């Protein structure tokens, strides 16, 4: 039963393009959702969360391609994505804390120094 669910195709076997398309669509949709979130939410933390979501979407696409091509490069790349995401999370959250201390607010709109 589990086999039926899991093994759409056993590992060394090639994955069909149709299946790949599904994964890519999920990836793109998740990316777009992250994007929409980034653009609409005003809480800095949520905005960063949305960027993480976009990372994840990219991860799905990479892993899907890795599976399709039957090599590990895509997954290796996801590890780097994870690294960068972790680094980004650390820095971004530190920044958020820093900014929050300055303005006592998490709103991205509290920062308008770049206004022309």
Q: Does 103 bind other proteins (CB under 8 A)?
A: no
Q: Tell me how far, at minimum, the Cβ of 58 lies from other proteins, in Å.
A: 11
User: Exposed/middle/buried for 61, CB within 10 Å: 0-12, 13-18, 19+?
Assistant: buried
Is 8 within 8 Å of 19 (Cβ atoms)? yes
The separation between the first and the last C-alpha atoms of the chain, rounded to the nearest angstrom, is 62
Q: Tell me how far, at minimum, the Cβ of 54 lies from other proteins, in Å.
A: 10
Segment 27-86, which members bind other proteins (CB under 8 A)? 28-43, 45-50, 52-53, 56, 59-60, 63-64, 66-73, 75-76, 78-80, 82-86
Q: Does 1 bind other proteins (CB under 8 A)?
A: no
């Amino acid at each position: 039963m589990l086999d039926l669910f899991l093994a759409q195709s056993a590992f060394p076997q090639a994955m069909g393009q149709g299946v790949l398309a599904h994964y890519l669509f999920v990836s793109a949709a998740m990316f777009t959702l992250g994007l929409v979130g980034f653009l609409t939410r005003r809480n800095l933390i949520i905005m960063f969360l949305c960027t993480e979501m976009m990372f994840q979407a990219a991860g799905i696409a990479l892993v899907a391609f890795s599976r399709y091509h039957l090599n590990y490069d895509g997954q290796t790349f996801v590890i780097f994505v994870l690294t960068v995401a972790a680094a980004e999370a650390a820095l971004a959250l530190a920044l958020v804390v820093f900014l929050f201390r300055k303005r006592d607010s998490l709103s991205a709109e509290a920062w308008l120094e770049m206004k022309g």
